Amino acid sequence: MRPGPLIRRLFGPYERKVAEAYRRVFIDLDDFGDLLQFWLPYPVNILEVGCGEGAMTERLAGMYPAASVTGIDITPNVGRLYPGDAARVTFLQQSAEDIARHQPGAFDLVVLCDVLHHVPPSERHALLRAIDRAMAPGGSLAVKDWIVSSSPIHWLCWSADRLLTGDDVHFFTPSSLNELLIGEFGPGAIREEAVVRPWRNNLAFLVRREAAIR
């Protein structure tokens, strides 16, 4: 059983504020949102894979008021802390494979924020292949993940992830994340790369492949 949801619910009505404060120790989601808007000003149909309880989904809905936003996660708490207009966002307890099967080629922007290091290495290519099938021709994938380092903040992040999620997390080096994305989407698919505040461990990529749906 994952202890994170139980611990967080102990905070009652303050849970969302506490979760936001905890998250800001490691990543500024608003900074990631600003980066997405700079890279992709006008997406129409957005999919967030591994959206959890809706923190980044909230930003996506606010940043792109004209877009349709779908957040998916395999956990039953999907979108639980989303405070916005429920009519603006669709939350589904589904996998990326489910979405690829039922909505192939539907999304011009897919967002994958701090998800990959929770995915077992043997399953990462399958996840990216499903995302690729869900992307519209010429669509984009924005990936943000935590990069391994020898700094104290990395070991704090690793410990917190293990404690709260119970997952056997596997972090990337910059080159291994780059190689994973190129291996799935092909040479030249990575169009942009940037660091997200407040730590250089937060590395983001914009991936685009001009190809027909497979």
Same domain, 79 and 121: no
Same domain, 73 and 157: no
> In the block, which residue shows the tokens 């461990």?
201
Global pTM reads 0.93
The domain total for the chain is 2
pLDDT tens, position by position, for the chain (214 residues)? Answer: 466 556 666 677 778 898 899 999 999 999 999 999 999 999 999 999 999 999 999 999 999 999 999 999 999 989 999 998 888 899 999 999 999 999 999 999 999 999 999 999 999 999 999 999 999 999 999 999 999 999 999 999 999 888 878 788 999 999 999 999 999 999 999 999 999 999 999 999 999 976 544 4
Query: Which domain, by its residues, includes 17?
Result: 1-86
Same domain, 49 and 126: no
Examine residue 206 and state whether it is found in any structural domain, yes or no: no
